[in-house]
Amino acid sequence: MAPCSLEHVVWVDVAADAKNAFNSLCRSQMWDPLLESFPDLAALGRLMYGSASSIIFNESGFGRSEVLNSVGNRQGCSWGSFLYCLTIHPLLKHLADEFPGCVILAIADDVHIIGPPELAAAAYEELLQGELNDSKSKCYSPKISAEAVRGTGMPADVEIATDGTRVLGGPVGSPDYCHSFSVCAGGHRGPRRHQSDVVPSGAALPCGGFSSASG
């Protein structure tokens, strides 16, 4: 990672939101990175993702239905994040090589481009080439006005904030922004859900018998 220095005072952070990233990933893109980098895991990967898998819904009152899943990462798969990261890694490496003046950091489909605004805007345009959801992407510019950042080529639909932003649910920004975030943290996420919201009263627990519902 590039060392923090005075040069960074005019940097911005662009958080890119990919359209249905996990759901839409073509599985054929997984094989080459898997075989090349982790050949020992290829057999298990083929078993997990070599053919379409079933998702079975059995809701009380609606009966049983089956959905075939042949695209993207499978929910409920312990390899979901790993395979997604493996698949997008060449793209991120390419981006980092193309834009050495920026720092590219990602947690799965949450990709951040940090750098000078004109370079960050260009890297953003290059990333996934049109597969980004501009209206959900965000730019945080702590030192430059939103108008100035917009003038560097940042797409019109990308929201630009100058006080702070959320990075993976946590606040990054001015002390005031972080303070207000911590005070209003519950409000940012909407109303808390209770168990009664998840499972209709009187209905059988849909996942009864399973100990985990993590995806």
Partner 1 sequence: MSFSLEEVLRRVRRTNYKTMQAWFHESDSLADNLTTLFYRITAGRIPASIIPLLTAGRGVAIPKPSRIGLRPVVVGNIILRFVGTLALVQKSAEITKFILEPKPLQFAVGLAGGCELMGAAIGALLS
Residues of the shown chain interacting with partner 1 in the complex, contacts defined by CB under 8 A = 1-2, 4, 8, 11-13, 37-38, 40-41, 43-44, 46-48, 50-51, 53-59, 67, 74-79, 81-82, 84-86, 89, 92-93, 96, 103-108, 112, 114, 140, 142, 167-170, 172, 190-191, 193, 197-198, 206-207, 210-213, 215
The DSSP 8-state label assigned to residue 59 in this structure reads E
Q: H-helix or E-strand containing 149?
A: helix 146-150
43-47 long-range contacts, Cβ below 8 Å, gap at least 24? 45/79, 45/83
Cα distances from 200 to residues 56, 101, 197, 214, in angstroms, run 19, 52, 7, 19
The DSSP 8-state label assigned to residue 52 in this structure reads -
Minimum CB–partner distance for residue 67 and partner 1 (Å)? 7
Facing residues of 105 across strands?
112
Sign of the dihedral defined by the CA atoms of residues 40, 43, 47, 52, in that order: positive
Minimum CB–partner distance for residue 118 and partner 1 (Å)? 16
Residue 26 or 68: the one with the smaller Cβ distance to partner 1 is: 68
Residue 168 or 185: the one with the smaller Cβ distance to partner 1 is: 168
Minimum CB–partner distance for residue 123 and partner 1 (Å)? 13
Minimum CB–partner distance for residue 130 and partner 1 (Å)? 22
Residue 53 or 180: the one with the smaller Cβ distance to partner 1 is: 53
Q: H-helix or E-strand containing 45?
A: helix 42-49
